[in-house]
Amino acid sequence: TQAIWPAVLLKHRLRGLECLNALSLGQQLPPRLFAPEKRGVRLSFVLRALDGSLAGAPHRELAEVLIGQRRVHADWADPRDHLRDRIRRAVSRGRALMNGGYRDFLI
């Protein structure tokens, strides 16, 4: 029934109450109520590449940590440079985020 809230709002209000209840009990918010960030894996890769770059690690070392030594050993010298390009793009994107691009996430 719609005696208290319209049916379209009920689900959202109940979620809000569940979150408020969890916080008031000192618990974490229920993860099932929040969809995972679709860009999370990519952003994690980018931020780890940026962190390593700022620490002075060479691109090959970044690739070994982020992608794996076996894959880097096999493909680093590939003439198409796909691994090198992936690391360069990740570091570049990380620097862009660091220099103000992070604001796009706040909107």
Q: What global pTM score does this model have?
A: 0.68
Q: Is residue 2's pLDDT more than 60?
A: no
pLDDT tens string 80-97: 999 999 999 999 999 999
Each domain of the chain, given as residue ranges in start order, spans 1-34, 40-105
Does residue 72 have a pLDDT over 80? Answer: yes
Task: Using the predicted structure, report yes or no on whether residue 54 has a pLDDT greater than 60.
Answer: yes
Whole-number pLDDT of residue 52: 98
State the residue for tokens 């992070």.
102
CA-CA distance, 55 to 2, in Å (whole number)? 58
Give the pLDDT of residue 74. 94
Rounded CA-CA distance 43/50 in Å is: 10
As a 3-state breakdown, the chain gives helix, strand, coil percent values, each rounded to 5, of 70, 0, 30
Q: What angle do CA 98, 107, 42 make, to 5 degrees?
A: 50
